[in-house]
Amino acid sequence: ANTRKYLIAGNWKMNKTAADAEELIKSIVLELGDKNGVGVVVCPPFTSLESSAKVLSEVSNVQLGAQNMHAKPSGAYTGEISAAMLRQLYVSHVILGHSERREYFKETDEEINEKVLAALESNLKPILCVGEKLDEREAGNTLKVVETQLLGGLVNIPTEKAEQVVIAYEPVWAIGTGKTATPEMAQEVHGVIRVLLRDRFGKATGDKIRILYGGSMKPENADGLLAKPDIDGGLIGGASLDAKSFVKLVESAA
Ligand code: PEP
């Protein structure tokens, strides 16, 4: 990962009530101890952010993320949550453009881009997710799909803010399926993303942006992935719901 600090982020998806979340966060904090050197972010559902923030106010090595937000600062958007609402709950990161949002909620690159811009405006670090579906890979379109999603998500992002952005490459066919991309398959795409980031923001900035891998990452397959030059950490779904597995993944990155 060059000189980039690794980042391990847990995406809890629609799991855990506030009380359950508090328990899991406490277990993670306990398992993790005072280890430093790897960035750690947990992304519980909105309803668990407050209870999680309370636990995390006692520790300095775990940060809080949300799984989505609305691009507008406020207004008549029933059921939505703004960047400012997240900031007030000590949220530092926000997952944007996850494949489940693209698939089930029909989010487009344009909408995701508006959210990325709004997040940066509020000093939230966006974790922008990109990745191809199985049929797109089989048709040989992986790199084209990833490029469109990546550049589409980064429209109008000023270079001076680009370092705040985290990219997550998540092949859709590997999410929640137990099928992981091999380290070589993942590095091929991460390498292309790196080149696109350098083209877009210049070499110095492009080299600072972290690119996470996501898709059935677990302690058994993490070492090979994290050893690759452009894989700077992981976005973890299933394995982030178990404190021991999640902390093992942090240890793999250390
Ligand atoms: C995810 O949804 O971001 C993810 C990577 O899930 P899983 O680890 O369960 O494949």
pLDDT of 15-52, one tens digit each? 999 999 999 999 999 999 888 889 999 999 999 999 99
237 lines ligand 1 (CB under 6 A): yes
Distance CA 100, CA 165 (A): 20
Nearest alpha carbon, ligand 1 atom 2: 237
Evaluate if residue 179 carries a pLDDT over 70: yes
Angle between helices 243-253 and 219-226 (to 10 degrees): 20
Of the CA atoms within 13 Å of residue 129, those in its CB half-sphere come to: 29
Backbone angles phi, psi at 180, to 5 degrees: -105, 150
Evaluate if residue 66 carries a pLDDT over 90: yes
Question: Catalytic annotation on 58?
Answer: no
What is the band of 2 on the pLDDT scale with cuts at 50, 70, 90?
Answer: low
ipTM computed for the complex: 0.96
Question: Catalytic annotation on 170?
Answer: yes
Q: What is the mean pLDDT of the chain?
A: 96
Instruction: Report the Cα–Cα distance between both ends of the chain, in Å, rounded.
Output: 11
What single DSSP character describes residue 83? H
Ligand 1 geometric centre to CA of 202 (Å)? 30
Mean pLDDT of 184-208: 97
Distance CA 61, CA 29 (A): 9
pLDDT of 115-168, one tens digit each? 999 999 999 999 999 999 999 999 999 999 999 999 999 999 999 999 999 999
Q: Residue 239 CA: which ligand 1 atom is closest? A: 8
Q: Which of 22, 98, 111, 114 is catalytic?
A: 98
Distance CA 59, CA 176 (A): 30
Tell if the pTM clears 0.95, that is, is over it: yes
Evaluate if residue 174 carries a pLDDT over 90: yes
Q: At CA 66, angle to CA 18 and CA 98, rounded to 5?
A: 120
Give the domains, in start order, of the chain with CATH numbers.
Answer: 7-253 (3.20.20.70)
- Which of 24-38, 103-117, 220-234, 236-250 is predicted least confidently? 24-38
